Structure 1
């Protein structure tokens, strides 16, 4: 079933306030936020790689947990994308005809929930199962990513909040299930050509 969410009626005025503030802000700040919004997800890939590199020096079970993080992120993206297809919320830059820092996406590139926010939140929550320190860094980065998507005009505030919630929920549930039997998965992987991924 397809829903038609009217995002402007939820928090359109807040979105407009944020976009107007962005237009009045210093160019260097807007440029920084825009770069982060466009390329910041690469930071999560670096954090995942760092988590795996450290985990494989601990034991095979820890390495399996770290290797699960990118898989969980992909799963969260898929789930979030399915919600997008079901909801069909038009981007705020089209509905409100706002002048935004980022070019308005195509008409069929739906807004709710934010994929960027979902990916960032999934990575952050999953990384907590690998390293508390990396998890904290990723949480800060995830919040920054969510805020940046509103600042550049790509999403309503409720889009990024929903994306954060969806990504975090998927990651928490999957990682909770995984950490119950990491040793068993480690033994299976160790018997394949993927063994070098588990041990240093």
Structure 2
């Protein structure tokens, strides 16, 4: 437990002013645009799942390494998320919407103890994008665009500083790329499985 005054990191001096400018810009968007930004920020991870499915379909025509990476992409993302959660508990940066005059934000401010740094959403989507880049460059490029949009949206809805997103992008990319490269070593197993009962799922 962390008591009052024992916070490990205060993000306000880093880019609190930029955070407020972005949030106030978002607050002046037309209502339909605000709803779209909030919906994308909350549910955009579903698009990553769709891209993972597309990568699996594409990998059926590719080599064993690509299929191994496509199959393990969700697990790579889960491991990146787990590492991010541990890092959050070390840094313990409070959400900017709890310490800066940003209300009303487009997304409800998380409660005390739900730390900000790094951004979970950003870690997840950049980790997924890094793995998908190793499977198929076109799908990976779409995933990177999704990741960039997700990062911006997390600031716009008011729940993260820009530096939360930047660190999330770095952590997610490093974890996803490293784990994706490691997953490619399972290509031999995939090739052997393609000749058995799983052929229809692993090959075109």
Q: 5+ residue gaps in structure 2?
A: none
Alignment of 1:29-108 (within 5 A): 29-99=33-103, 100-108=105-113
Residue of structure 2 equivalent to 1:165: 170
C-alpha displacement at 1:190, in angstroms? 5.9
Q: Does 1:126 align with 2:126?
A: no
Q: Which residue of structure 1 lines up, in the alignment, with residue 120 of structure 2? A: 115
Across the two proteins, how many residue pairs are aligned to each other?
Answer: 198
In the aligned structure 1, how far is the partner of 2:134 from the partner of 2:125? 15
Q: How do 1:167-182 and structure 2 match up within 5 A? A: 167-179=172-184, 181-182=185-186
Structure 1: state its 5+ residue gaps.
none
Q: Could you tell me how far 1:185 is from its partner in structure 2?
A: 3.1
Tell me if the contact between 1:60 and 1:199 (Cα under 8 Å) persists in the aligned partners: no
Check conservation: 1:88, 1:110, Cα contact below 8 A: yes
Greater mean alpha carbon deviation, residues 16-25 or residues 150-159 = 16-25
In structure 2, distance between residues paired with 1:4 and 1:55: 44
Alpha-carbon distance between aligned partners in 1 of 2:98 and 2:45, rounded to the nearest angstrom: 25
Query: Aligned in 2, Cα 1:22/1:183: closer, same or farther, shift over 3 Å?
Result: closer
| TM-score, normalised by the number of residues in structure 1 | 0.91
Task: Output the aligned Cα RMSD.
Answer: 2.0
On the 8 A contact 2:63/2:187 being kept in 1, the answer is no
TM-score, length-scaled by structure 2 = 0.89
Q: 1:24 corresponds to which residue?
A: 28
Specify whether residues 191 and 157 from structure 1 end up closer, same or farther in structure 2 by C-alpha distance, changes over 3 A only.
same
- Relative to structure 1, is the Cα distance of residues 176 and 60 closer, same or farther in structure 2, using a 3 angstrom cutoff? closer
CA offsets, 1:107-134, max 9 Å, x none? 1110000000000101111101111000
Shift of 1:60: 3.9
What's the secondary structure of 1:129's corresponding residue?
helix
Using the TM superposition, give the Cα deviation of residue 20 of structure 1 relative to its aligned residue in structure 2, in angstroms.
1.0
